[in-house]
Chain A
Amino acid sequence: MSTTVDIPRFVRAKQVEALPPPNLARGPIAWVRENLFSGPFNTLLTLVVFYLLYVSVPPLVKFLFIDAVWSGTDRAACRADMGGSETGACWAFIREKLGYFTYGSYTVSERWRVDIFFALLAIGVGWLLWLKAPRRDLGAVYFFWLFPILSYILLTGGNSDFSGRFWIGFLIFGVLLIALFAFVAAILKTSLRPALIIAGGIVAVIGITLALMDIDFGLRHVPTSLWGGILVTLLVATVGIVFSLPFGILLALGRRSKLPIVRMASVIFIEFVRGVPLITVLIMANTMLPLFLPGDMTVDRLLRPLIGTALFASAYMAEVVRGGLQAMPKGQYEGAMSLGLNYPQMMILIILPQALRIVIPGIVNTFIGLFKDTSLVAIVGIFDVVKTIEASRIDPNWAAPTIGLTGYAFAALFYFIFCFGMSRYSLGVERRLAAGQKR
């Protein structure tokens, strides 16, 4: 077979010189061309975005930093008619009011107690969130028991001054509880020791808690009406966290329970709370809680929204925890049962440690939501960060046109730092937990 194709008979005798590397495959220019100007549409998009940035960023930077007023003692610094500048943020106002934004009207000489509260909170949070921290079980005891008591004593001044009759009543209650446990153990014909240890433990924990609240540490009493600012915001968030996690776990277990009434009660509570806005819950706590208590009993103004937010957060927490419980393979439950563990042992020793671990990102996201939601207590008249800013905004001493925007910029920055930090943490944990599943 002969082909008609004319094969060029040319053999190069000498090697061609290598071409220089394409100078636009890497390096910043190539990157820009690849990522920003790879086609007419892309170029147009980039230009539009550049224009939007040009319109929005320079004025913002100018307002927040360049034209901002950094020092001053009253409104004169931030008013054009009084010789100041009113084209930029009035940070002097924030500097002047920072104490108020942090502590509210908390007695000035006692503010060191709030600082200690902040430090204790930071220790607890760090202990629990740092996954490699030593003895995180002790951390949990600290955060969910010791820390709330210490905070109560520090912030209010403690010294609840229970009467002698109260202590006699508690003594009777303790003896009765221990007797009841011993009685049940006797009926069940089990050994007496664990029953006595559990009963004694419960009585001791309650007793120590009450005793600590009762002891007079010589701290001055500071009524909750004086608390405010960051203190209250962190307090509401912390109480929400401390309360919502255990209660949310209980609700989630209730919702997964085989007992129909327990399950129904949990479902009704969770769906009811998740179906209504937080404000309505807060207003309900504000107006209806006093109605439900005996006439001579009053609930502290700060306690009402605390209860409201805690219940609200529990319902959301319950759904997150339920997700973790459902993600547990059935074999874990069956394995635990085949070892002869009873329900509490199975949950505490086998299921919950694993289930809670996989929902840490979800839990942190709930906390972020809770932290943002604490701002709503301002609407029912609690002096949190937002409310203290609202109150300072109308201070005639600082009547200037930029005060409002400056105040809200400060609030936004405050919330952003906390929430963004938490979300980064949750991302990190997520990545770490996913490392085991990576192939």
Chain B
Amino acid sequence: MQTVVSQTSPPKKSILYDPKVRGVFYQVLLVAIVGYLFWIAATNAIENLQRAKIASGFGFLNNTAGFDISQTLIQFSAAGSDYGDAFVVGLLNTLIVSAIGIFFTTILGFLIGIARLSRNWMVAKVAMVYVETLRNIPLLVQLLFWYIAVLGPLPQPRNSIEMGAGFFLNSRGLFMARPVYTADAWAIPAALVIGLVGSFIYRRWAKAQQERTGRQSPVGLVTLGLVLGLPILTWIVLAIMGANPISFELPRKGTFNLTGGMQILPEFVALLLGLTTYTAAFIAEVVRAGILAVSKGQTEAAGSLGLKPGQTLRLVVIPQAMRVIIPPLTSQYLNLTKNSSLAVAIGYPDLVQVFMGTVLNQTGQAIEVVVITMGVYLTISLVTSALMNIYNRRVAIVER
């Protein structure tokens, strides 16, 4: 009897063969190893820091900086500012070069991407050579090249090149007029906001009207007029009324240097050129892939509906291509922002150069500085990818 029972019941398994038990075991092992490594690292770090007599904690951010930065968007001086201010200066410099770089690289990248698909053989080949060359040379080499190429031919400050309209060019950068705002200057941004709101309302009205009557309105022209024209008009009216909202402070030539005005560093120009041209090559490929991803049937269907080529492009191809283009485009923007850290190689005072370079060397507080700097880049990346996920969910093709 007993033998029969043992045959019908499932064979007794060892607990070690249970996948759940094994899973728990592997995870406990992983936690133990990682935890042990962290513990070793932490104890060693504490011991090393004590031996080197390096303070820990974030108190150093309030210490006087004691060094100057060549480009500051906020008030900064060696004696009167602390490391926290230096951090803000570096961060702002990183953000401004990234923002301007993203603006220009988008234009250049789209142009080259479209040029690669041009039916004009010459244009397509030149665009291809551009992309292949720029993509296959490290950004660092390109930046160093631009730095020499930009800086090399420029004269000493005393022999500045005068370009008229208050523009001066010398080895310390491009000097130009600095706008000085008077009390009435608020009217211009106000006009811009009104223009934006107005164009938004007009767009909704135009869309409703098109759906009702089928007639199209010149949306682009009106938007341009409202957004650009209104502020300019405000400026002109104010100027005629004698209350000039913006005056310009021109740089003056001194014996050794130029004073006043606004200065654009050659490092900034080189970094901007390098980042823009390099990232544009990648964006061009993204754009090309996006346009090719729209099937030919879409264009033909639009044509058979009677849309003109321009309308086909605007209403059928581009909206569908954008769905493919936007995610990798965003990651290119992120790459540009991260690559702006190469500024350290040519001495543009970005976050890495100021904070991870000078501040780290002066204070020796490696852990805190590295954590803050990485945290900044990580925050930018994670926020962008979170926004990207929301966008993707909105534009994803809704399937049955």
Q: Residues of A with Cβ closer than 8 Å to B?
A: 35-36, 38, 42, 45-46, 49-50, 52-53, 187-189, 258-262, 265, 271-272, 274-280, 283-284, 287-288, 290-295, 368, 372-373, 375-376, 378-379, 386, 390, 401, 404-405, 408, 411-412, 415-416, 419-420, 423
Contact = CB atoms under 8 A, between A and B. Distances in A.
A186 B223 CA distance: 80
Closest 8 CB pairs of A and B: A275-B381, A419-B136, A292-B41, A35-B121, A277-B338, A287-B366, A372-B138, A277-B341
A415 B133 CA distance: 10
Contacts of A390: 144
B7 to A, nearest CB: 19
Given A36-B120, A53-B126, A415-B136, A293 B44 contact: yes
Contacts of B140: 375-376, 378-379, 386
Nearest to B141: A411
Interface string B132-166: 11011111111011001100100000000000000
Contact of A415 (B141, B341, B370): B141
Contacts of A415: 136-138, 141
A271 B381 CA distance: 9
Interface string B372-400: 01100110111000000000000000000
Contact of A276 (B48, B49, B377): B377
A53 B126 CA distance: 9
A291 B366 CA distance: 9
Contact of B141 (A259, A274, A375, A401): A375
B23 A416 contact: no
B356 interface: yes
B188 interface: no
B360 A287 contact: yes
B377 A280 contact: yes
B47 interface: yes
Nearest to A254: B30
Given A52-B126, A262-B30, A404-B148, A277 B141 contact: no
Nearest to A286: B366
B132 A405 contact: no
Given A259-B27, A276-B338, A291-B45, A49 B145 contact: no
Q: Is the interface of B mostly helix, strand, loop or mixed?
A: helix
Nearest to B365: A287
A279 B345 CA distance: 10
A294 B23 CA distance: 33
Given A376-B342, A415-B141, 8 more contacts: A45-B123, A46-B122, A262-B27, A265-B34, A288-B370, A390-B144, A415-B137, A419-B137
B217 interface: no
A54 to B, nearest CB: 12
B136 A386 contact: no
Given A42-B120, A261-B30, A405-B148, A295 B356 contact: no
Contact of B382 (A188, A271, A279, A373): A271
B212 interface: no
Given A45-B118, A275-B382, A419-B136, A280 B123 contact: no
Nearest to B142: A412
A404 B41 CA distance: 43
A386 B26 CA distance: 44
Contact of B120 (A45, A187, A260, A379): A45
Contacts of A260: 27
B352 interface: yes
Nearest to B380: A275
A284 B136 contact: no
Given A261-B30, A420-B132, A291 B137 contact: no
A39 B400 CA distance: 45
A372 B342 CA distance: 13
B149 A405 contact: yes
B122 A50 contact: yes
Interface residues of B, number: 58
B345 A259 contact: no
A410 B58 CA distance: 45
| Residue from the set A287, A401, A420 with the largest chain B CB neighbour count within 10 Å | A287
A379 B370 CA distance: 16
B378 A36 contact: no
A368 B23 contact: no
Nearest to B26: A259
Contact of B136 (A52, A187, A376, A416): A416
B362 to A, nearest CB: 13
B16 interface: yes
B16 to A, nearest CB: 6
Interface in B1-28: 14, 16-17, 23, 26-27
A291 to B, nearest CB: 5
Contacts of B378: 272, 275-276
A284 to B, nearest CB: 5
12 contacts: A46-B123, A49-B120, A188-B16, A275-B377, A276-B377, A279-B356, A288-B366, A372-B136, A378-B345, A379-B140, A412-B141, A420-B136
Contacts of B381: 271, 274-276
B128 to A, nearest CB: 12
Contacts of A411: 141
A405 B381 CA distance: 35
Contacts of B31: 261
| Residue from the set B31, B51, B136, B152 with the largest chain A CB neighbour count within 10 Å | B136
B119 interface: yes
Interface string B102-142: 00000000000000001111110010000011011111111
A251 B118 CA distance: 42
Nearest to A293: B44
A274 B334 CA distance: 10
A277 B335 CA distance: 8
Contacts of B192: none
Contacts of B133: 416
Contacts of A294: 44, 47
A49 B17 CA distance: 70
B384 to A, nearest CB: 9
B208 to A, nearest CB: 35
Contacts of B41: 292
Given A46-B120, A280-B352, A293-B44, A259 B382 contact: no
B367 interface: yes
A309 B352 CA distance: 18
Contacts of A280: 341, 352, 356, 370, 373-374, 377
Nearest to B378: A275
Contacts of B370: 280, 283-284, 287-288
Contacts of B40: 292
A405 B141 CA distance: 10
Given A45-B120, A262-B30, A375-B141, A279 B136 contact: no
B47 A295 contact: yes
Contact of B345 (A187, A262, A272, A379): A379
B139 A189 contact: no
| Residue from the set A265, A272, A278, A379 with the largest chain B CB neighbour count within 10 Å | A379
A408 B149 CA distance: 11
Contacts of A420: 132, 136
